[in-house]
Every structure is written in structure tokens, then in C-alpha cells.
């Protein structure tokens, strides 16, 4: 992640996007209450993966920006179905982007402890789909979406954004071969 506007989250209840806060939310709720759905997106730029490379493994790592527990949080991770993902601009832009056919369910997230890191199951099938896209080229950008997937009302988790002063932003680690 190389930019303040390379990550963010949207609130489906009020149709807003937050691209410059210190955290991103996932689940069904928000600080201060509410049962709105919140979806996050993270953009990784300048990836040096050749088109059609075989993805051996891919791990997304998030640092919790707050200690949160309680009700069930379920997330589905998808990619932006494009060869070169742009930064997010508006709520409508975020929501309208085509998603990959491949996805990863990250279900029943346990409580998070501030500063601890968390990773869903391997996201290599999503990355593989993107680097096989006709428009993919070495040095392009990938977006991963973390979308609410039936979380208990009011349940959410928060991870550090690029703008967080203490914790690291989302990290994508990819192992590949040509």
C-alpha cells in the first residue's frame, strides 16, 4: 500500500466512503452503534507479478486497529475484476466495480486485539484470476474487497489503514513463478 487513498471503507446505510481515516471497518455496524453494512477495500500498487504467472500462494495481512469482540463477523473477500485497479473515488465507484468470480469466505472472525495481525485463508485464486486478466501487466495495481457476508447486526472489526500512526496498513504477500 503506497497511498492514503489506496484503502477505505463504505457505509451502505448512508452511502458514504471514508478514504482517509486511520482505520477501515468490515462487518455490520460502526463505532457508536448502527446496523449498517460496512465493506472495505485495499489497493496494492506497483506489483511486479508478470501476466499469467502461476500464483503459488497469496496472503492478506491486516493489523487490528482496536480490540473488538462479541457478535459474529463474516466477510467475503473478492478482487476487482480488472487488469489495473484505480484508486477509489466515490461510494458509487467503490460499489460499482466488477468483482472477481473467485472469492474467499472469512467466517466467524474471533475477537481482535489491537496491534495483532490477522489473515484470512489463502487468497491466491483471486490474485490468479486478476493476473490472467487481458489488461494485467507487471507493475499494475490490485484491489481486494472485504465485504460483509451475513455478520450479526452491530458486529464489526477495524483494521489499520495507510493513515494509521501506529500500526501497519494491509499487506499482500504473493509467491509466484513463471
Residue at 98 is within a domain: yes
pLDDT of 127 reads 98
- pLDDT of 116-160, one tens digit each? 999 988 999 999 999 999 999 999 999 999 999 999 888 899 999
Q: Considering its fold, how many domains does the chain have in total?
A: 1
- pLDDT of 63-115, one tens digit each? 999 999 878 899 999 999 999 999 999 999 999 999 999 999 999 998 999 99
| Alpha helices per DSSP H over 22-156 | 91-96, 124-131
pTM of the model: 0.94
**Structure letter (DSSP) for residue 21:** S
Residue at 92 is within a domain: yes
| Structural domain for 74, as ranges | 4-44+61-122+139-172
Residue at 132 is within a domain: no
Cβ proximity of 142 and 136 under 8 Å: no
Give the span between the Cα atoms of 15 and 50, in whole angstroms: 36
Where b means 16+ CB within 10 Å and e means fewer, 82-104 reads: bbbbebbeebeebeebebbebbb
pLDDT of 154 reads 86
Amino acid at each position: 500500500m503506497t497511498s492514503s487513498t489506496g484503502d477505505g471503507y463504505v457505509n451502505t446505510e448512508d452511502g458514504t466512503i471514508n478514504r482517509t481515516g486511520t482505520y477501515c471497518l468490515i462487518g455490520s455496524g460502526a463505532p457508536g452503534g448502527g446496523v449498517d453494512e460496512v465493506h472495505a477495500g485495499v489497493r496494492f500498487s506497483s506489483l511486479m507479478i508478470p501476466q499469467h504467472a502461476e500464483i503459488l500462494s497469496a496472503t492478506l495481512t491486516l493489523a487490528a486497529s482496536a480490540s473488538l469482540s462479541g457478535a459474529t463477523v463474516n466477510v467475503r473477500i473478492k478482487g476487482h475484476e480488472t487488469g489495473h485497479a484505480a484508486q477509489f473515488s466515490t461510494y458509487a465507484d467503490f460499489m460499482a466495480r466488477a468483482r472477481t468470480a473467485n472469492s474467499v469466505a472469512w467466517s466467524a472472525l474471533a475477537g481482535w486485539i489491537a496491534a495483532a495481525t490477522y489473515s484470512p485463508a489463502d487468497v491466491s485464486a483471486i490474485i490468479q484470476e486478476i493476473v490472467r486478466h487481458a489488461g494485467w501487466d507487471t507493475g499494475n495495481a490490485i484491489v481486494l474487497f472485504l465485504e460483509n457476508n451475513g455478520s450479526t447486526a452491530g458486529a464489526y472489526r477495524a483494521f489499520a489503514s495507510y493513515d494509521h500512526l501506529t500500526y501497519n496498513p494491509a499487506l499482500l504477500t504473493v509467491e509466484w513463478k513463471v
